[in-house]
Amino acid sequence: MSLNTMRKKISFSLILLVMSLSLFVFATYAYFLGRFENSFSSEMGVVDVDLQAYFEVVTSSSNQVYGSDIAFNGTTISSTATDLSGFTDGDKLRVQDSRYNDGYLTVSGSSTTTFITVVETLTTEEALANVELDVVLTTNIEALEVVIQSDNSQTGTDISFSGSTMSSTTTDLSVYSDGDTIRIDGSTDNDSHYTVSGSTSATSLTVEETFTTASAGASITVDEVITKPGVYYVNIVSSGNESYFEDFRLMIDVYSTIDTYFRVKIYEQLSLSYTDYNNEENELSVLFDGYMPFDYSSSNWYDNRTLDNYLYYQVAEQRIDESTPTSVSLISTSFADQDFSTYPVGYSLQIAFSIEAVQIYGGPEQVWDIETPPWGGSW
């Protein structure tokens, strides 16, 4: 065999080898791509959920009426003598001292002297208790992280707010630095925790968040705090506190572009704070059995906490549009037929959450490793 002939055969063999390898790579890619598509479907999207913890607090009350002749049935509140005509369409109606229907309701349509129709469905209740009805305005107050240390406390009546800036004339704000978490207390609309942004001066500082505009005048205290990240304070001692247990609310906002399942795990810890003989603050964790008596929604929620500590939302959701999430309530009210039993002074509830979300196509099976829903059926 001549040298040229041998070179041609070797070249031809190399070409066949490259083509075979290319075909193998292509076939392997197609095989695994097909398996991936079978597992997760061809529809892909963004999974995005957010959890909002806050307190729903009454800021004003009007049109109070009382009566032991007030009854509840279906979507109707009725009376025989108590005048109910002062309530109008869209009013936020608060019911107190009933047996089963305490809470907030929404008036639907016009009322008469003896009838009110509401949007919600009521628990049937005869006229026996001395029930109070009134129209209320409420505001949502952000749940704050538990404070474990405080420093650099400043109090003054010269502190004002505008945009992202807090200003003063004599109260020294230069003690705070970029990245500090500060707590504001005593204002009308700005009590919360904020993160300092950039350099400060004696009379001004900027935060990452936005304030409600307010002039100086109120006695306001500002201090630097260290908090437990993601752990929120709930008052279980005083019903008049703006962070009181019965006013706690929990909402999930779904921003996903694809149908999404989600589940929530809740961590609860009772704590007792006290001052010792050295005048030092101490905190003890208190063991308790079961769960705190929040009124968890039963609408599309499945409580699987006895098995895996999760509450599952049974319906896959996605956003309404690019700027509007789908909002799902987990705690939207307190139990209407019972009052929360308060604890002695010094006790508090510290509460934290984890939320997990997966796309509808293969998400529960592949990510959560759950082949069938805890409530039965199929995903």
d(CA 245, CA 26): 61
Q: What is the pLDDT at residue 370? A: 96
Write out the two tokens for 244: 């009181």
d(CA 351, CA 54): 12
Those residues whose C-beta lies under 8 Å from the C-beta of residue 102, and which sit 6 or more positions away, are 95, 96, 334, 336, 337
Q: What is the DSSP string of 64-119?
A: EEEETT-EEETTEEE-SSS--TT--TT-EEEEES-SS--EEEEB-S---SSEEEBS
Q: What is the pLDDT at residue 281? A: 84
Residue whose C-alpha is closest to residue 183's, from 147, 142, 235: 147
Indicate the SS3 state at residue 120.
coil
Q: What is the pLDDT at residue 21? A: 53
What ranges do the domains of the chain cover? 69-129, 147-229, 243-366
CA dihedral 8, 11, 15, 18 (to 10 degrees): 160
Let me know: does 122 contact 76? Beta carbons within 8 Å: yes
- Which spans in 295-346 are helix H? 305-308
Q: What is the pLDDT at residue 17? A: 52
* Burial track 180-192 (b if 16+ CB lie within 10 A, e otherwise): bbbbbeebeebbb
Q: What is the pLDDT at residue 12? A: 52
Residue whose C-alpha is closest to residue 222's, from 149, 155, 151: 155
Residue spans of the chain under pLDDT 50: 3, 29-30, 32-33, 35-42
Let me know: does 94 contact 133? Beta carbons within 8 Å: yes
Q: What is the pLDDT at residue 224? A: 96
For the chain, how far is it from start to end, CA to CA, in angstroms? Answer: 68
Q: What is the pLDDT at residue 276? A: 87
Residue whose C-alpha is closest to residue 198's, from 218, 178, 214: 178
Pairing verdict, β 310-313 and 260-275: antiparallel
d(CA 67, CA 130): 5
> DSSP assignment, residue 246?
G
Q: Is 147-229 CATH 2.40.30?
A: yes
